[in-house]
Structure 1
Amino acid sequence: MTLVNALPPEFDRGVVTTVHQGDCHVSNAVDLTLSTVLGSCISACVRDTVANVGGMNHFLLAEQSGAAKDRYGASARYGAFAMEQLINKVLSQGSGRKSNLEIKVFGGGKINAALDDVGRKNIDFVHEFLAAEGYVSVSEDVGGNYARRVLFKPHSGRAFVKRLDNASGANVAREEIALAKRHVIIPAPITDIELF
């Protein structure tokens, strides 16, 4: 007998690490699964296909500026930081070659009208970021009007997405609205460096 919501038999969860909003985890452990729940947020899963090192981030672009050259405002700098942090960690723990990277993108759902389709802005942002950096996602599950749980095996690159019911989506929406109301804090650039 097979359960409708069961994982495929070959997708053994092993040790599960939850990736929360603002987190970035990278590993080469064979038995590790990275897990997150997304509404409007985006998670990128990046893997070095040669070194079998991979990771996942989770970010929400919470504010938009009116400046034409700064389309997403301070939060885009946070999204760019989240993407660069993940890619750099995978490169430094892996082969160091951008050509070996495989990228998968998840999330960006419109799960609450109060979020002014932040999900669409997140999808646009991540596509523009990847294009500007010369990357293409090999697969993605983005958009829609539902929340999703994403499981990612950083060693093998396998990913599993489960679309969540309305009750779960409502919980995710409440959490994201609370996050969106807070200001995104961007680390200040280092301007004074002393070499010794």
Structure 2
Amino acid sequence: MVATNSLPPEFDRGVVTTVHQGDCHVSKDMELTYSTVLGSCVSACVRDREARVGGMNHFLLAEPPNSGGDKFGASARYGAFAMEQLINMVLSRGTGRKTNLEIKVFGGGNINAALNDVGARNIEFVREFLANEGYALAGIDVGGTFARRVLFKPYSGRAFVKRLDSADNARIVNDELALVTRRAPVRAPVDDIELF
């Protein structure tokens, strides 16, 4: 993982695919880079080291609004769905062995008082989820009072993090507030998810 403001050469070429809120993408393309911008949101980057297949997700809420804190019921859908979907996609396209997975987590910034606890809840959720599933983190850059642009190479597993300035923070806060207050429904799964 690299945290700097200058782009390393390997991120300066090839195809870039943007990962938006609610998205999950997986590939083994050597030239592909996944890119996302995170405020309070969290993205996990998961890679099968042996198969060189990796992916990125992006979720805004650890749990749905008005869930009452029921961690094991409906409240687990948002973050849990995003994490399970990504891990299962990488496992199914890779070796299928959980021990080959390398996991990096980014985001959860406190970039606005109106979203004060969203980032912290997202960080707490993803740490707890991974610990409960028996996964160790290979890299992490979470928290703080800034937004981030994250680039991830699914083939090599390299990640690049750029901390964004206050103008970017304001735009991201507006986008996130609109989603939180709109209480947009989570997309239904395309097909059933089975944990390995």
Please give the TM-score of this superposition, normalised by the length of structure 2: 0.87
Provide the secondary structure at the position in 2 that maps to 1:157.
coil
Question: Among residues 65, 68, 72, which one is paired with 1:66 in the alignment?
Answer: 68
For 1:129, the equivalent position in structure 2 comes to 129
For 1:37, the equivalent position in structure 2 comes to 37
For 1:152, the equivalent position in structure 2 comes to 152
Deviation of the 1:182 alpha carbon: 2.4
From the CA coordinates, give the structure whose radius of gyration is larger. Answer: 1
**Residues 90 and 72 of structure 1: is their aligned pair in 2 closer, same or farther, counting only changes over 3 Å?**
same
> Quick one: distance in 2 between partners of 1:108 and 1:57?
14
For 1:55, the equivalent position in structure 2 comes to 55
Q: Aligned-pair RMSD on alpha carbons?
A: 2.0
Deviation of the 1:56 alpha carbon: 0.1
Percentage of matched positions with identical amino acids? 71
Deviations 1:131-164 (A, max 9, x none): 1111111110000000000000000000000000
> Quick one: distance in 2 between partners of 1:107 and 1:173?
13
**Residues 166 and 72 of structure 1: is their aligned pair in 2 closer, same or farther, counting only changes over 3 Å?**
farther
1:65 alignment partner AA? S
Matches within 5 A, 1:95-174: 95-174=95-174
Provide the secondary structure at the position in 1 that maps to 2:170.
helix
> Quick one: distance in 1 between partners of 2:171 and 2:161?
18
For 2:180, the equivalent position in structure 1 comes to 180
> Quick one: distance in 1 between partners of 2:105 and 2:75?
18
Deviation of the 1:116 alpha carbon: 3.1
> Quick one: distance in 2 between partners of 1:148 and 1:162?
6
2:168 alignment partner AA? S
2:68 alignment partner AA? G
> Quick one: distance in 1 between partners of 2:177 and 2:26?
27
Deviation of the 1:5 alpha carbon: 3.5
Deviation of the 1:185 alpha carbon: 2.5
| 8 Å CA contact 1:146, 1:164 repeated in 2 | yes
Unaligned runs of at least 5 residues, structure 2: 192-196
| 8 Å CA contact 1:64, 1:71 repeated in 2 | no
Provide the secondary structure at the position in 1 that maps to 2:9.
coil
> Quick one: distance in 1 between partners of 2:177 and 2:105?
22
> Quick one: distance in 1 between partners of 2:99 and 2:153?
20
> Quick one: distance in 1 between partners of 2:117 and 2:72?
13
Please give the TM-score of this superposition, normalised by the length of structure 1: 0.87
Deviations 1:6-63 (A, max 9, x none): 3123433410000000000000000000000000000000000000000000001152
1:15 aligns with 2:15: yes
